[in-house]
Amino acid sequence: MWESIAGVLPAGSILICTILSATLPLLVYTVNKRLHAIGDPPWMKQAAPAQDGPGDPKTEASGANGQQNPSTP
C-alpha cells in the first residue's frame, strides 16, 4: 500500500521546493505589510488612498490629480 502512495508522490526535493515556492512569497508579503504598519509615518497613513492593486485600469488611467490621462483611451 505504501509503495503505491510513494510512487505517485514526487521526489522529496521537488515537494519541498513546491511548498517553499508557495510559502516564501506569502511570508515576505506578511512581513512587508507588518513593517509598513509599524514604520509608516502618521502623515503617510492619512494621505494614502485605498489602492485596488497594480494593473487596475482606474488607477493607471488617472493622473496625479485624479483626472483622466489623455493618452489612454
In angstroms and rounded to an integer, the radius of gyration of the C-alpha atoms of the chain is: 22
The answer to the question of residue 58 being in a domain is no
The answer to the question of residue 49 being in a domain is no
DSSP class per residue in 12-52: HHHHHHHHHHHHHHHHHHHHHHHHHHHHS-HHHHHHPPP--
The answer to the question of residue 22 being in a domain is yes
What sign for the dihedral angle of Cα 40, 44, 48, 54? Answer: negative
Tell me how far apart the alpha carbons of residues 57 and 51 are, in angstroms, rounded to a whole number.
11
The answer to the question of residue 3 being in a domain is no
Write out pLDDT tens, residues 8-37: 777 888 889 889 999 999 999 999 999 988
Task: Confirm whether pTM is higher than 0.85.
Answer: no
Q: Return the pLDDT at 45.
A: 74
- Domain span at residue 19 reads 13-37
Q: Return the pLDDT at 42.
A: 81
Domain count, the chain: 1
